[in-house]
């Protein structure tokens, strides 16, 4: 293994750095959990001007944690500075839906954030930039950012479905009394919205098929809505939206993207037309990661039950795309 002295430092940009997700995420990045424990990291924190004080405080606490791999922290409200030389970016900062606002307003308001950030990535990031959009509506925000970055391959932009994927594993692990690492071949198709389709058709636990171990009614009536509505359930119980679990899933996603994984994952990537999903929308698909790229798990047989749910997601994402057409 190389020592930190002769491995090049990776620059990681995190937007929304003063927010609650970043308060977990930044510690995991600084601990070497994305690029590995032999790779030094430099953090670049982007915030809106009113929240720069909060980001400054977060940076002070990061320094106080004395991470061996943490080289430097930049705090800025200037997107060009924040993405300068970035090898990885977590786009967490977003504008929540305000009182009386429609989904179209939410999409348009976030377009004003993710368009300029996409352009700043285009103009300033390193050639190997990987961008994970976490801020909601994540899939369409990723589409907007990617459209504003014509020099960066669209495949370098992802939206996060990994929290939904991890929630699906957790529900199955609890139901079957098994460890989370025993599960494979789970996928959450579609949009990071309540329309999403957590799919256990191909899932295995140990050597067994999960569909042989749970009944269909539980799958349809309990499992699918529970996973799809877990965000609302957390808000109801905790009084705040998911934060540490979102951060943990963002780490899982970026680590697997960079370092590779043969296990199936769910990543929202630009559709290539696979599984009859229209091209160009950012859609959760079954993926494995090889040589720094997500590859779609192809050739799966799709039943009518699955088809209807996958199509509902594709339609929702196409409607979101239409709503922001003037930003693309």
Residue of the chain from 29, 30, 34, 51 that contacts ligand NAI (CB under 6 A): 51
Residue of the chain from 12, 26, 46, 132 that contacts ligand NAI (CB under 6 A): 46
List phi, psi (to 5°) of 201: -50, -40
Q: Does 190 bind ligand NAI (CB under 6 A)?
A: no
Residue of the chain from 33, 47, 199, 316 that contacts ligand NAI (CB under 6 A): 47
Q: Is 216 a catalytic residue?
A: no
Q: Does 134 bind ligand NAI (CB under 6 A)?
A: yes
Q: Does 253 bind ligand NAI (CB under 6 A)?
A: no
Q: Contact 150/121 with Cβ under 8 angstroms? A: no
Q: Contact 304/202 with Cβ under 8 angstroms? A: no
Residue of the chain from 136, 146, 271, 313 that contacts ligand NAI (CB under 6 A): 136
Q: Does 195 bind ligand NAI (CB under 6 A)?
A: no
Q: Does 192 bind ligand NAI (CB under 6 A)?
A: yes
Name which of 243 and 300 has its Cβ closer to ligand NAI.
243
Q: Residues near 203 by Cβ (< 8 Å), separated by ≥ 6?
A: 172, 183, 184, 185, 186, 209, 210, 211
Q: Contact 89/15 with Cβ under 8 angstroms? A: yes
Show contacts with ligand NAI in window 86-105 (CB under 6 A): 92-95
How many residues touch ligand NAI under the rule CB under 6 A: the total is 26
Q: Considering the complex, what minimum distance in angstroms separates the CB of residue 27 from ligand NAI? A: 14
How far apart, in whole angstroms, are the C-alpha atoms of residue 269 and residue 128? 17
How far apart, in whole angstroms, are the C-alpha atoms of residue 322 and residue 326? 8
Instruction: Give the length of the chain.
Output: 328
What are the helix (H) ranges across the chain?
A: 22-30, 52-64, 79-82, 103-124, 138-147, 162-176, 216-217, 224-228, 230-238, 244-259, 304-323
Q: Residues near 228 by Cβ (< 8 Å), separated by ≥ 6?
A: 164, 194, 195, 196, 198
How far apart, in whole angstroms, are the C-alpha atoms of residue 267 and residue 282? 9
Q: Considering the complex, what minimum distance in angstroms separates the CB of residue 140 from ligand NAI? A: 12
Show contacts with ligand NAI in window 19-38 (CB under 6 A): 19-21
Name which of 92 and 187 has its Cβ closer to ligand NAI.
92
Rg (CA), the chain: 19
Q: Considering the complex, what minimum distance in angstroms separates the CB of residue 237 from ligand NAI? A: 15
Residue of the chain from 243, 288, 300, 312 that contacts ligand NAI (CB under 6 A): 243
Region binding ligand NAI by CB under 6 A among candidate stretches 65-73, 128-136, 146-154, 218-226: 128-136
Show contacts with ligand NAI in window 144-173 (CB under 6 A): 160, 163
Q: Considering the complex, what minimum distance in angstroms separates the CB of residue 250 from ligand NAI? A: 8
Q: Contact 134/92 with Cβ under 8 angstroms? A: yes
Give the active site residues: 192
Which residues are near ligand NAI by CB under 6 A? 15-16, 18-21, 46-48, 51, 92-95, 113, 134-136, 138, 160, 163, 192, 241-243, 246
């Amino acid at each position: 293994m190389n020592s930190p002295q002769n491995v090049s430092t990776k620059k990681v940009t995190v937007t929304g750095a003063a927010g609650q997700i970043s308060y977990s995420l930044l510690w995991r990045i600084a601990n070497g959990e994305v690029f590995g424990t032999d790779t030094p990291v430099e953090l670049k924190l982007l915030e809106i001007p009113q929240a720069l004080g909060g980001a400054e405080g977060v940076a002070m606490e990061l320094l106080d944690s004395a991470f061996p791999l943490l080289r430097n922290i930049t705090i800025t409200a200037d997107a060009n500075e924040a993405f300068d030389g970035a090898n990885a970016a977590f786009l967490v900062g977003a504008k929540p839906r305000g009182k009386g606002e429609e989904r179209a307003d939410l999409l348009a308001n976030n377009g004003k954030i993710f368009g300029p950030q996409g352009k700043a990535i285009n103009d300033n990031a390193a050639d190997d930039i990987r961008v994970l959009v976490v801020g909601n509506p994540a899939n369409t925000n990723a589409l907007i950012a990617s459209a504003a970055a014509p020099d960066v391959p669209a495949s370098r932009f992802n939206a996060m479905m990994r929290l939904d994927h991890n929630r699906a594993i957790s529900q199955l692990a609890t139901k079957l009394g098994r460890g989370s690492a025993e599960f494979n071949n789970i996928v959450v198709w579609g949009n990071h919205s309540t329309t999403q389709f957590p799919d256990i058709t191909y899932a295995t636990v140990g050597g067994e098929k999960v569909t042989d171990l749970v009944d269909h009614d539980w799958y349809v009536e309990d499992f699918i809505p529970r996973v799809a509505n877990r965000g609302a359930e957390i808000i109801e119980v905790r009084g705040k939206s998911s934060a540490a679990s979102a951060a943990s899933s963002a780490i899982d996603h970026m680590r697997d993207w960079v370092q590779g994984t043969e296990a199936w994952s769910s990543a929202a990537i630009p559709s290539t037309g696979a599984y009859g999903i229209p091209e160009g929308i950012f859609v959760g698909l079954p993926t494995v990661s090889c040589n720094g790229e997500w590859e779609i798990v192809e050739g799966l047989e799709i039943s009518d039950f699955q088809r209807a749910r996958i199509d509902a997601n594709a339609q929702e994402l196409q409607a979101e795309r239409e709503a922001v057409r003037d930003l693309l």
